[in-house]
Amino acid sequence: LAPAVCRPFAERGRFTMLRCTSSRLLCAILIVSIPGRPLPMPKTTRACQTAGTPMSLLLLYAHPASNRSRLNRRLLSEVIELPGVVVHDLYEEYPDFHIDVRREQELLSSHDALVLQHPFYWYSVPALLKQWMDLVLRYGWAYGKGGTALQGKRWLTAVTTGGPEAAYEAQGSNR
């Protein structure tokens, strides 16, 4: 693909939406800016759809104690009203852990991109998200022989941690 030209077109707090265009593509990309650092610009347009086709994004939110997570609540509040974004809170939807697999697969099929937003739990994902992955992303549907339902979908992960930044540096306790 030809290199894209990206320009900010909407800002809300620390979030910036970029409109990226090239000869064949048009898309919007959400960027989280970090104070004191330049705004990162994408190097490719792989997250884009062809021009004239709006991208729909399913944000799969999985936090078992959302009320205690300032960062996750803030991230949600910033993107919840963006056009084309559907927020799907697994812990709100399935407090009993009884996942409607067919409904979840339909949700995935009806969106161009998926973002998993969750905390980093013991080097893994929260229990309900793990169960969701095991049940929804089935062999023959999501992968393996005949498993082409997610082919061409964009998949991103937004992971938060409860520890200080230093814990995740080269000499930190979670290196």
Instruction: Tell me what the pLDDT averaged over the chain comes to.
Output: 77
Name which of 137-146, 148-157, 158-167 the model is least confident about: 158-167
- Which helix H or strand E contains 118, and what residues bound it? strand 113-119
Question: Which stretch, 8-12, 18-22, 128-132, 157-161, has highest mean pLDDT?
Answer: 128-132
Phi, psi of 67 (to 5 degrees): -65, -20
Q: Could you report the per-residue pLDDT of 112-124, keeping only the tens digit for each?
A: 888 898 988 888 9
User: According to the model, what pLDDT value does residue 137 have?
Assistant: 97
Rounded CA separation 174/136 (Å): 30
Taking the CA atoms of residue 122, residue 123, residue 128 and residue 132 in that order, the dihedral angle to the nearest 10 degrees is -160
pLDDT of residue 173: 81
Q: What is the reported pLDDT for 135?
A: 98
CB atoms within 10 A of CB 170: 5
pLDDT of residue 21: 55
What is the pTM (predicted TM-score) of this model?
0.69
Q: Which residue has the tokens 């082919």?
A: 151
Give the C-alpha separation, 107 to 12, whole Å: 27
Q: 142 Cβ partners below 8 Å, 6+ apart?
A: 136, 149, 150
Q: Which residues lie closer than 8 Å to 17 by C-beta, 6 or more apart?
A: 8, 9, 10, 11, 28, 29, 30, 31, 82
